[in-house]
Amino acid sequence: MLNSLRPAHGSKHKNKRKGCGPGSGHGKTACRGEKGQGSRSGVSFRPGFEGGQMPLFRKIGKRGFTNNFATDYTVVNLDVLARCEAGAKVTAESLLENALIAQIGRDGIKILGGGELKHAVTVVAAAVTASAKEKIAKVGGSVELIAVPARRGKFVAKGETTPRAKKK
């Protein structure tokens, strides 16, 4: 049985032996062509180099910008919270453990009012919409808002929360 085993057809190849004479098909110039930069020893082209032609990444213009001060919440609708047990304390970590969210955003979770909630839960989140707060309160649940640590702005010194006054 074991002596009849063979690798799958096409999975094994002979090595390309370069510079081993004309019979190999890869002799003389060893697949490098006749002349030019690529035929010399020690040649290396950086990624994106197109032989002097304007590279694609330079042809395509820059667009937009990244807002470093944007809030990054993982949004969770009420229909997701409906899958939690009645009376449970719902936090970002508990939602992640139960695979109800894929990741926790940089600024925590935000509860949106999509869907219906049938039982009371205690929600601990960074932000909650008014409609979600109303629906949670209607079924007897409660909402605890946690403070999101503020990121330092452009002119705010370490340890301070407001910009310093200009020196005169």
Domain residue ranges in the chain: 74-145
C-alpha span between 70 and 72 (Å, rounded): 6
DSSP run (H or E) holding 134:
helix 130-138
List the chain pLDDT tens, one digit each, 168 residues.
899 999 999 999 988 888 888 888 898 999 899 999 899 999 999 999 998 999 999 999 899 998 878 888 999 999 999 998 888 899 999 999 999 999 998 889 999 999 999 999 999 999 999 999 999 999 999 999 998 766 656 666 666 666 666 666
Neighbours of 131 (CB within 10 A): 13
How far CA 117 is from CA of 4, 41, 82, 108, 162, in Å, comes to 63, 70, 5, 21, 40
What is the predicted pLDDT for the residue at 47? Answer: 93
What is the predicted pLDDT for the residue at 69? Answer: 80
Q: What are phi and psi of 136, to 5 degrees?
A: -65, -40
What is the predicted pLDDT for the residue at 131? Answer: 94
What is the predicted pLDDT for the residue at 120? Answer: 92
**Domain 74-145: which CATH class?**
alpha beta
What is the predicted pLDDT for the residue at 70? Answer: 85
